[in-house]
Structure 1
Amino acid sequence: MKKLSARRRHPMAAVVVLLLALAATGGLYAAFAPAGKAQADDTAQSVSSITEGKKLFSVGCASCHGMGGEGTTDGPSLVGVGAAAVDFQVGTGRMPAQQPGPQVPKKKVVYTQPEIDKLAAYVASLGAGPAVPTTEQYSVDGANIAKGGELFRTNCAQCHNFSGEGGALTHGKFAPSLEGVDPKHIYEAMLTGPQNMPSFPDTTMNQQNKQDVIAYVKTVNGDNSSSPGGFKLGGLGPVSEGLFGWVFGLGALIAVAIWVAAHTAKAKKS
Structure 2
Amino acid sequence: MRFSVRKLSTRRRHPLAGFVVLMLALIVVGGGAYAVQTTALSPASAADDTTSSRELDAGRQLFLIGCASCHGVNAQGIGTKDDKNYGPTLIGVGAAAVDFQVGTGRMPMAQSGPQAPRKTPEYDAEEVRQLSAYIASLAPGPSIPSSEDTDYEAASTEDVREGGEFFRTNCTACHNSVGAGGALPDGRYAPKLDGVSAKHIYEAMLTGPQQMPVFGDSVITPEDKRNVIAYIKAVQDQPNYGGLAGGGLGPVVDGLFTWVVGIGVLVGFAIWIGAHGARVKKKR
Q: Scaled by the length of structure 1, what TM-score is found?
A: 0.83
Match of 1:71 among 70, 73, 77: 77
Match of 2:251 among 229, 238, 246: 238
Q: Is the 8 A contact 2:180 2:249 kept in 1?
A: no
Residue 46 of structure 1 aligns with which residue? Answer: 52
| Cα 1:263–1:117 shift into 2, 3 Å | closer
For structure 1, list consecutive stretches of 5 or more residues without a partner in the other structure: none
| Cα 1:94–1:3 shift into 2, 3 Å | same
Residue 61 of structure 1 aligns with which residue? Answer: 67
Residue identity over aligned pairs, in percent, reads: 50
Q: How does 1:56-135 map to 2 (within 5 A)?
A: 56-73=62-79, 74-135=86-147
Secondary structure, aligned partner of 1:135: coil
Residue 197 of structure 2 aligns with which residue? Answer: 182
Cα displacement (A) at 1:75: 0.7
Secondary structure, aligned partner of 2:256: helix
Please, which moves more after superposition, 255-264 or 161-170? Answer: 255-264
Residue 213 of structure 2 aligns with which residue? Answer: 198
Q: Is the 8 A contact 2:70 2:78 kept in 1?
A: yes
CA distance in 2, matches of 1:220, 1:252: 33
Please, which moves more after superposition, 158-167 or 22-31? Answer: 22-31
Cα displacement (A) at 1:39: 5.2
| Cα 1:16–1:119 shift into 2, 3 Å | farther
Amino acid at match of 2:91: V
RMSD: 3.3
Q: Scaled by the length of structure 2, what TM-score is found?
A: 0.79
Residue 161 of structure 1 aligns with which residue? Answer: 176
| Cα 1:207–1:261 shift into 2, 3 Å | same
Higher Cα Rg: structure 1 or 2?
2
CA distance in 1, matches of 2:110, 2:250: 35
Cα displacement (A) at 1:108: 1.6
Amino acid at match of 1:80: G
For structure 2, list consecutive stretches of 5 or more residues without a partner in the other structure: 80-85
